[in-house]
Amino acid sequence: FYGKVRDLKLTDAAYETLAVIAYNAPATRAEIETVRGVNSDSVVSRLIERGLVREVGTLETPGRPALLDVTEQFLMDFGLSSTRELPPVDLMMYDTITEFTQERQSDAISAAPKPLVIAIDGPSGSGKSTIARLLSEHLGILTLDTGAMYRALGVKALRLGISPSDQEAVRAMLSETSMEIDLADRVQKTIVDGSDYTPYIRTPEASKAASDISVLPVTREYCVRIQREIGKRQALILDGRDIGTYVFPDAPVKFFLTASHEVRAKRRLIDLERAGVPSTLEDVMREMEIRDRQDSERQLAPTKRADDAILIDTSEMSIREVVDVMIDVIRQREQVQPSWSQSRHG
- Is residue 204 located within the same domain as residue 330? no
- Is residue 213 located within the same domain as residue 246? no
Predicted TM-score (pTM) of this structure: 0.60
- Is residue 7 located within the same domain as residue 100? yes
User: How many angstroms separate the first and last alpha carbons of the chain?
Assistant: 43
56: Cα separation from own chain's centroid: 51
**Residue from 163, 286, 281, 284 nearest 215 by CA:** 163
Residues 4 and 77 sit within 8 Å (Cβ to Cβ): yes
Question: Can you give the residue range of the structural domain that contains 209?
Answer: 148-228
pLDDT given for residue 69 in this prediction = 93
- Is residue 196 located within the same domain as residue 137? no
Average pLDDT over residues 90-112: 55
pLDDT given for residue 91 in this prediction = 46
Q: How far apart are CA 196 and CA 199, in angstroms?
A: 8
pLDDT given for residue 321 in this prediction = 94
- Is residue 38 located within the same domain as residue 9? yes
**DSSP string over 196-264:** E-GGGSSSHHHHHHHHHHHTSHHHHHHHHHHHHHHHHHS-EEEEESSIIIII-TT-SEEEEEE--HHHH
pLDDT given for residue 304 in this prediction = 83
- Is residue 263 located within the same domain as residue 203? no
pLDDT given for residue 243 in this prediction = 92
Q: How far apart are CA 186 and CA 52, in angstroms?
A: 57
Q: What angle do CA 337, 339, 344 make, to 5 degrees?
A: 100
- Is residue 129 located within the same domain as residue 252? yes
Burial of 279 (0-12, 13-18, 19+ CB in 10 A): middle
pLDDT given for residue 325 in this prediction = 93
Q: How far apart are CA 333 and CA 203, in angstroms?
A: 39
Q: How far apart are CA 225 and CA 143, in angstroms?
A: 17
Q: Is the dihedral of CA 279, 282, 286, 289 positive or negative?
A: positive
Poorest-pLDDT segment among 81-95, 263-277, 329-343: 329-343
Q: How far apart are CA 224 and CA 236, in angstroms?
A: 14
**Is the pLDDT at 342 greater than 80, yes or no?**
no
Pairing of strands 189-192, 195-196: antiparallel
CATH number, domain with residue 282: 3.40.50.300
Q: How far is CA 244 from CA 122, 123, 197, 234, in A?
A: 10, 13, 27, 17
- Is residue 218 located within the same domain as residue 161? yes
Residues 182 and 188 sit within 8 Å (Cβ to Cβ): yes
User: Of 91, 111, 131, which closes a domain?
Assistant: 111
- Is residue 316 located within the same domain as residue 239? yes
**Residue from 229, 254, 217, 226 nearest 128 by CA:** 254
Largest CA distance in the chain: 98
- Is residue 30 located within the same domain as residue 94? yes
- Is residue 221 located within the same domain as residue 267? no
pLDDT given for residue 95 in this prediction = 53
- Residue 58: beta bridge partners? 66
Provide the number of structural domains found in the chain. 3
pLDDT in tens, 281-291: 998 898 888 87
pLDDT given for residue 226 in this prediction = 95
- Is residue 243 located within the same domain as residue 342? yes
**Is the pLDDT at 159 greater than 50, yes or no?**
yes
Q: How far apart are CA 102 and CA 109, in angstroms?
A: 11
